[in-house]
Amino acid sequence: MAISATSTLRTVDDYNASQAAEAERTSSVLGQDDFLKLMTTQLMNQDPLQPMENGEFLAQMAQFSTVSGINEMNTSVQGLAESYRSQQLMQAGALINKKALVAGNVAEIDAGGSLRGAFELTQATDGTGIVIRNMRGEIVHEEQMGILMKGIHEFTWDGITTSGAPAEAGQYIVEPVALDNGESYTPNTLVYADVQAISTGLSGELVLEVAGMGAVPFSEVLRVGE
């Protein structure tokens, strides 16, 4: 295909126009070298009988130092942010196909599998137990854990129901129960769930796609298990 002289000239004109626009944009930004040149020129051309006041000179130098310092600080902060984000990506990527301990009371198990979870106590208890129900609300497992102190306490259900049969694959509801002076209450419930993928939220925060839980912010993962 032949290229006409007109199109060639237009291409050259477009290139020249873009270069001119870039030069104009660059020239409108006052850099450190430009600032120093202006300061030197001002000093060389000042009236010897009316030299620049020391205070004015120091103010201009302080302004230069402030601008320079802010630019350097911004560069450092950006570098730290990028480094932190890279570290987060590596940590989050390592969680795929592993189990993360996150807040929630619904856990998913495979046929013949087990269920792991935890609960957080804000104070010591008179007694503590675990109740696990299927999605129909039927109790499939109960376990007494006795008196426990303040903190996070983990538990594991082997998947064998109260009838002695293995639990069906699916989702189950975890209900820890704690006693305080004979009064029962429900502690904060946590479950281990499979991490299936990672993504980035609208605010740029890393988000884990967790089985049975949906999207969970990376910052809300308390522990990691196999």
Which amino acid belongs to residue 11? T
Going by pLDDT thresholds of 50, 70 and 90, the confidence category of residue 2 is: very low
In this prediction, residue 161 carries a pLDDT of: 94
Fold of 102-190: Immunoglobulin-like (2.60.40)
Q: Give residue-wise pLDDT tens across range 139-158.
A: 999 999 999 999 999 999 99
**What is the per-residue pLDDT for 28?**
47
Q: Is the pLDDT of residue 137 over 90?
A: yes
Q: Of how many residues is the chain composed?
A: 226
According to DSSP, the residues that pair with 133 across neighbouring strands are 139, 173
Domain range annotation of the chain? 102-190
| Residue ranges of E strands in the chain | 99-103, 106-109, 115-121, 127-134, 139-144, 151-157, 170-180, 183-185, 188-200, 206-210, 214-217, 223-225
Quickly state the pLDDT bin for 125 (edges 50, 70, 90). very high
For 9-63, write each residue's pLDDT tens digit. Answer: 445 455 455 655 555 554 445 555 666 676 667 666 655 555 555 556 566 666 6
Share of the chain above pLDDT 90, in %: 32
Pairing mode, if any, of strands 183-185 and 170-180? antiparallel
DSSP for 119-142? EEESS--SEEEEEEEETTS-EEEE
In which band, very low, low, confident or very high, does the pLDDT at 166 lie, cut at 50, 70 and 90?
very high
Q: What is the pLDDT of residues 92-123, one digit of tens each?
A: 677 788 888 999 999 888 888 899 999 999 89
**Is this model's pTM higher than 0.85 or not?**
no
Mean pLDDT of the chain: 76
Q: 31-35, 92-96, 170-174, 219-223 — which one is most confidently predicted on average?
A: 170-174
Q: Which pLDDT tens digit goes with each residue over 8-24?
A: 444 545 545 565 555 55
